[in-house]
Amino acid sequence: MTSPTGTDQAYLISRERLIDAPADRIFEVLARPALHSVIDGSGTVRGEQPNGPERLSLGARFGMQMRIGAPYKILNRVIEFEEGRRIAWRHFSSHVWRYTLEPRGDSTLVREEWDGRAVRWKFIFRLAGFTRSHPASIEKTLRKLEDYVLQERRSA
């Protein structure tokens, strides 16, 4: 991949949150597609029964029920995977959803990225408002991820 230009930087949206939980516990949530609708802050991921493996690994393919206006299904493939540290997937449009986890004592710095720099038809994402809405959606996803992990710990 070539290095991003200033214009391309608008298509790399990243937010992070320090969560008071170990990286392996947080990663376990991210690696289970059935939990993606629970932590999704965009409101677009639907249902708890995705098609594919129960737990993701490098190269795994999984389908999700989605809704942006109308319902549809999307097939994703895991393209980056480092147990407990990094997971990323993409679908046909080439944009990537990536999570990186960095242990910080008893807590973990979780970074979520939407990387659309490799998309050939970027202007569609801009026209659809994704570059404007993704920052807030990512922040909400990270809050929901934290709430889920902490609630699960309290329930144990």
User: Is residue 30 a part of any domain in this protein?
Assistant: yes
- pTM of the full structure: 0.86
23-30 helix and 130-155 helix, angle to the nearest 10 degrees: 120
CA angle 31, 32, 36 (to 5 degrees): 105
pLDDT at 71: 78
Q: Is residue 8 part of a domain?
A: no
> Is residue 125, in this structure, part of any structural domain at all?
yes
* Domain membership flag for residue 1: no
Q: Tell me whether residue 105 is exposed, middle or buried, using C-beta atoms within 10 angstroms of its C-beta: 0 to 12, 13 to 18, 19 or more.
A: exposed
Is 3 inside a domain boundary?
Answer: no
- pLDDT tens per residue across span 57-111: 999 999 887 777 787 788 899 999 999 999 999 987 788 999 999 999 999 999 9
Q: Is residue 18 part of a domain?
A: yes
Is residue 155 very low, low, confident or very high in pLDDT (cuts 50, 70, 90)? confident
Q: Pick from 130, 105, 128, 136: which is nearest to 115 by CA?
A: 130
Looking up residue 106, the CATH number of its domain turns out to be 3.30.530.20
pLDDT at 3: 42
**CA gap 150, 50 in Å, rounded:** 24
* DSSP assignment letter at 120: T
- Domain of 53 in residue numbering reads as 13-155
Residue 22 domain flag = yes
Task: Please count the structural domains in the chain.
Answer: 1
Residue 1 pLDDT grade (very low, low, confident, very high; cuts 50, 70, 90): very low
